[in-house]
Amino acid sequence: MAICKALAEAGAAVGVGYNASAEKAEALLGALPGGGHMALRIPVTDSAALSEAIAAVDKRHSRLDLLVNSAGITRFVPHGDLDALDDALISRILDVNVRGVIASVRAALPLMRRSGGGAIINISSIAGVTAMGSNIAYCASKAAVDNLTKSLARALAPEIRVVSVSPGLVDTEFLRGLDQSWRNEQAGRTPLRRLAAPEEVAQAVLAVGTSLTFMTGSILAVDGGRPLG
């Protein structure tokens, strides 16, 4: 939500992607400033649906300048409990978090090239660097996203830039539903002694898309210095 709002406030026509929550996407559209916004069903594991979504953007706007890959999935599993990290969960995490990025870029690439280039921003996580996170498959998936960012940046240059925005723990509605003492502990392990605000991640995305125009293949940390703790 915060990313969509920041981009809309900057004057972009925003495609709000969703998998199953169409009502939430439509509600967000009504809250965005500006015009030209669209709600798009984008299940990242469905390549045909991805192509349909890009076709809808092409039909309405005839261009695509910025792609933000933010879909992700996880579940809390202790790192040492490999039995609880079942095959179905591993496959689902890698399918959404890694293959979904590749499939989304593949679908968007022709329109971005016809638009004269642009930027692709992959929402990663410091879990890909620290190997600490909700489970080991999730950590591995985010390390893979950072690696994909570098490979894609090399492959798609100079027309298209590719950057990972890599947050630490973000104070989202999901995290607010977790135990407060755990949240306080996580904030205490961060040099800045707090969690990231969603708006701070959104501003990083906006900066990469509009201002940091000589950046590609980079991993932009928005983590409050957490790996230093």
Q: Active-site residues: which are they?
A: 138
Structure tokens at 75: 């579940």
HEC states along the chain? CHHHHHHHHCCCCCEEEECCCHHHHHHHHHHCCCCCCEEEECCCCCHHHHHHHHHHHHHHHCCCCEEEECCCCCCCCCCCCCCCCCHHHHHHHHHHHHHHHHHHHHHHHHHHHHCCCEEEEEECCCHHHHCCCCCHHHHHHHHHHHHHHHHHHHHHCCCEEEEEEEECCECCHHHHCCCHHHHHHHHHCCCCCCCECHHHHHHHHHHHHHCCCCCCCCEEEECCCHHHC
Residue 126 CA to chain centroid, in angstroms? 13
The set of residues, in sequence order, having a beta carbon less than 8 Å from that of 42 and lying 6+ positions away, is 17, 18, 19, 49, 50, 53, 71, 104
